[in-house]
Amino acid sequence: MNSRNTNYPFWLQDNQPKELYSSGFMLQKLNYVHNNPVEAGIVERPGHYLYSSARDCQAAERVGLLRVNFL
Protein backbone atom coordinates (compact mmCIF):
# COMPACT_ATOMS: atom_id res chain seq x y z
CA MET A 1 0.00 0.00 0.00
CA ASN A 2 1.22 3.47 -0.77
CA SER A 3 1.93 5.03 2.62
CA ARG A 4 0.96 8.50 1.35
CA ASN A 5 -2.48 7.45 0.12
CA THR A 6 -4.16 4.85 2.30
CA ASN A 7 -7.76 6.08 2.03
CA TYR A 8 -8.27 6.57 -1.71
CA PRO A 9 -5.79 4.46 -3.70
CA PHE A 10 -6.05 4.66 -7.48
CA TRP A 11 -4.24 1.36 -8.24
CA LEU A 12 -4.91 -1.97 -6.61
CA GLN A 13 -1.90 -3.19 -4.67
CA ASP A 14 -2.42 -6.87 -5.48
CA ASN A 15 -1.59 -6.86 -9.19
CA GLN A 16 0.40 -9.79 -10.53
CA PRO A 17 2.34 -8.79 -13.66
CA LYS A 18 2.95 -11.52 -16.23
CA GLU A 19 5.76 -11.81 -18.75
CA LEU A 20 4.48 -11.92 -22.32
CA TYR A 21 6.62 -14.90 -23.26
CA SER A 22 4.94 -15.89 -26.53
CA SER A 23 2.73 -14.47 -29.26
CA GLY A 24 -0.12 -16.75 -28.21
CA PHE A 25 0.06 -15.61 -24.58
CA MET A 26 0.22 -11.97 -25.68
CA LEU A 27 -2.87 -12.41 -27.89
CA GLN A 28 -4.69 -14.08 -25.02
CA LYS A 29 -4.03 -11.06 -22.79
CA LEU A 30 -4.88 -8.62 -25.59
CA ASN A 31 -8.21 -10.36 -26.13
CA TYR A 32 -8.86 -10.22 -22.39
CA VAL A 33 -8.29 -6.44 -22.36
CA HIS A 34 -10.41 -5.96 -25.49
CA ASN A 35 -13.28 -7.93 -23.94
CA ASN A 36 -13.37 -5.92 -20.69
CA PRO A 37 -15.91 -3.35 -22.03
CA VAL A 38 -18.09 -6.26 -23.25
CA GLU A 39 -17.93 -8.01 -19.87
CA ALA A 40 -18.80 -4.71 -18.16
CA GLY A 41 -21.90 -4.39 -20.36
CA ILE A 42 -20.74 -1.14 -21.97
CA VAL A 43 -20.78 -2.47 -25.55
CA GLU A 44 -21.87 -5.65 -27.32
CA ARG A 45 -18.63 -6.22 -29.24
CA PRO A 46 -15.01 -5.22 -28.47
CA GLY A 47 -14.69 -3.18 -31.67
CA HIS A 48 -17.64 -1.00 -30.67
CA TYR A 49 -15.76 0.57 -27.73
CA LEU A 50 -14.38 3.90 -28.91
CA TYR A 51 -11.25 3.87 -26.75
CA SER A 52 -10.15 0.32 -27.57
CA SER A 53 -7.45 -0.89 -29.96
CA ALA A 54 -9.81 -3.76 -30.81
CA ARG A 55 -11.15 -1.60 -33.62
CA ASP A 56 -7.72 -1.53 -35.27
CA CYS A 57 -7.05 -5.22 -34.65
CA GLN A 58 -10.22 -6.16 -36.53
CA ALA A 59 -9.81 -3.77 -39.47
CA ALA A 60 -7.45 -3.88 -42.42
CA GLU A 61 -6.83 -0.14 -42.09
CA ARG A 62 -6.55 2.29 -39.21
CA VAL A 63 -9.95 3.18 -37.80
CA GLY A 64 -9.26 3.87 -34.11
CA LEU A 65 -7.84 6.81 -32.23
CA LEU A 66 -4.29 5.45 -32.03
CA ARG A 67 -1.96 3.77 -34.49
CA VAL A 68 -1.33 0.12 -33.65
CA ASN A 69 1.83 -1.53 -34.99
CA PHE A 70 2.07 -5.29 -34.77
CA LEU A 71 5.59 -6.62 -34.40
**41 in a structural domain:** yes
**24 in a structural domain:** no
Residue 51: which domain range?
34-66
**DSSP 8-state symbol, 51:** T
Neighbours of 3 (CB within 10 A): 5
DSSP-derived 3-state class of residue 57: helix
Total count of domains within the chain: 1
Q: Is the full-model pTM beyond 0.85?
A: no
Residues 16-53 pLDDT 10s: 778 888 989 988 998 999 999 999 999 999 989 988 88
**3 in a structural domain:** no
**10 in a structural domain:** no
**7 in a structural domain:** no
- Give the CA distances from residue 14 to residues 32, 33, 51, 56, in Å, rounded to whole numbers and listed in that order: 18, 18, 25, 31
Residue 1 has pLDDT above 60, yes or no: no
